[in-house]
Amino acid sequence: MSNAPAKPEKIRCDACPVMCYIADGRSGACDRYANDGGQLVRVDPHIILERSSRAVPFQGEDWDGAVVGKDTFVTAIGAGTTYPDYKPAPFTVSAEIDGIDTVTVVTEGIFSYCGAKVKIDTDRHLGPERALVRAEGEPIGHVTTAEYGSQMLSLGGVHHLTGGGKKEGRVTCAALLSLCNREAVELTIDGGSTVVVEAGAAPIIDGETEERMRVGCGSATIGMFAAQWQGLVDEVVVVDDHITGVMSEHQAGKVLDWPASGIRINGRRSTPGRYFQVAEPGRGWGGTDLTDPLTILKDFKPDVARPGLSLLMVSTTGENFAYYELDNDLRPVERAMPDRLLPSITRIEENCEPALCSVAFMGGAGGSLRAGVTDNPVRLTRSVRQALTNVTIGGAPVYLWPGGGITVMADVTQMPKNAFGYVPTPALVAPIEFTLSREDYLGLGGHADHIVPLAEAASGRVGKQNDHRLAGQERVAAGAGVPWPLGR
């Protein structure tokens, strides 16, 4: 018989539907749980938010007995999950906040029904509406509407996560995870651009970093700066893919008694001084495909225009500009930009905000994680809708969508970094917290036997939650300007 030591048995993790068998010293497919000597361990530290200027490790520290209260918030990041659904949430924490006994229930929810709404500040045309957005060649979302100075993308969702091929689901999940954890992701848009998106950073479009978003459409730019151009130039055209503005025809010009110039524009006239479809969308002047703005001009009216008439053409960001004077044939000839007009170009640039990428996690908090709060899940839904229960994602405030269910959206830059995980089903794992009064919590049919005081939960001594051991805790300072999850 062999005297070799017995090989340690694998343990089975039940933290998600994959149900990995994990060997000693190894982690599961999600990299969130590991086998440590036969004990299931949550790998990442549990995050405690505090209102202070420091971010210090908390693992292994002894609680010194100091009072913790409204300046400490137990997040769900690293706390663990309720899967397979019937178990109470990993932490149900009681605290007195402004004289009210409260309970915060935290869990890492497994979100198959989730995605990201991405706002890209740019004057460029990124791609046609409804065009597929791809990562690693796989479709993970689509282009939605162009908003004021921004292009919106809708990424993820259950159909990309589970409704396509295995690679599509895997790539979608990986892209969502990176975006929500504030990492850069390269996306390609069918019939459009390649964009590098990172929450809180400037977009990189076809290899060029975008610097600023537009001050407004062409018409709005005319309205804002009309008085500053009066007396300095005979005509101003602000070139814009959406609404090109013409000073002498615009109502702002009329109010200032701006004389007619005889200018004529290629495009669909909307209202006086406002033109649609002057060119195709693109990466040129004002989000058009123009490199020569004179392309949008027809011949000037000979009975109105005159030789020497001055014309300023400028884009909605001030990035592109040119100055012309009409020759004897009433054709615009480019001249050096007069010093008198340079301050107005600078003013447009000054009023353009920095171009950024914004990423909002959006998910539906369905049946399973609600059972970790109450034995009758619909009561939690009703309590959230009645604003008796406050919902946060990793401590960040959420927008609660109207209608049924608990569908929430939150800015990922308002959460600690790396707040999200994944399971290879595939689905994102997102932290979610429910805070309400103790009275209301008990009225919901909450799991009263699992309530622990905040001081105990934040002490680092709560070592075992729902059949797994915590890897320790870490205190993280709340970000500057981020709303505190407990109110004041």
- Of 300, 326, 350, the domain-final residue: 350
Task: Determine, yes or no, domain membership for 330.
Answer: yes
Alpha helices in 256-365 (DSSP H): 342-350
Same domain, 184 and 285: no
Same domain, 106 and 125: no
pTM for this model (two decimals): 0.89
Task: Determine, yes or no, domain membership for 486.
Answer: no
Task: Determine, yes or no, domain membership for 360.
Answer: no
Lowest-confidence segment of 125-134, 221-230, 279-288, 328-337 by average pLDDT = 279-288
Task: Determine, yes or no, domain membership for 7.
Answer: no
Same domain, 205 and 229: no
Same domain, 339 and 244: yes
Distances from the Cα of 483 to the Cα of 50, 372, 394, 395, angstroms: 12, 26, 12, 9
Place of tokens 């490199």: 291
| pLDDT greater than 80 at residue 300 | yes
Share of the chain above pLDDT 70, in %: 92
Q: Say if residues 47 and 35 touch (Cβ distance below 8 Å).
A: no
Same domain, 179 and 202: yes
Same domain, 77 and 54: yes
Same domain, 124 and 58: no
Top-confidence residue, 63 or 412: 412
Task: Determine, yes or no, domain membership for 483.
Answer: no
Domain span including residue 242? 218-350
Task: Determine, yes or no, domain membership for 456.
Answer: yes
Q: What integer pLDDT is reported at residue 7 of this predicted model?
A: 59
pLDDT, tens digit, 9 for 90 and up, residues 62-116: 444 444 556 889 999 998 888 777 788 888 999 988 888 999 999 999 999 999 9
Same domain, 417 and 461: yes
Distances from the Cα of 346 to the Cα of 207, 215, 309, 317, angstroms: 25, 12, 23, 10
- Of 350, 382, 399, the domain-final residue: 350
> For 219-235, what is the mean pLDDT?
96
Residue 464 pLDDT class (50, 70, 90 cuts) = low
Whole-angstrom distance, CA of residue 233 vs CA of residue 423:
62
Top-confidence residue, 465 or 48: 48
Task: Determine, yes or no, domain membership for 4.
Answer: no
Whole-angstrom distance, CA of residue 476 vs CA of residue 416:
8
Same domain, 122 and 93: no
Q: What integer pLDDT is reported at residue 463 of this predicted model?
A: 52
Same domain, 158 and 92: no
Q: Give the count of domains, the chain.
A: 3
Whole-angstrom distance, CA of residue 409 vs CA of residue 39:
35
Same domain, 135 and 153: yes
- Of 209, 237, 267, the domain-final residue: 209
List all residues 6 or more positions away from 359 whose beta carbon is below 8 Å from its beta carbon.
116, 117, 118, 179, 180, 182, 197, 199, 411, 412, 413
CA angle in degrees (0–180, nearest 5) for 210-223-236: 80
Task: Determine, yes or no, domain membership for 36.
Answer: yes
At 375, list the tokens.
Answer: 């034995």
CA angle in degrees (0–180, nearest 5) for 61-65-68: 95
Same domain, 163 and 233: no
Residue 431 pLDDT class (50, 70, 90 cuts) = very high
Beta bridge partners of 236: 312
- Phi then psi for residue 343, to 5 deg, are -60, -35
Share of the chain above pLDDT 90, in %: 67
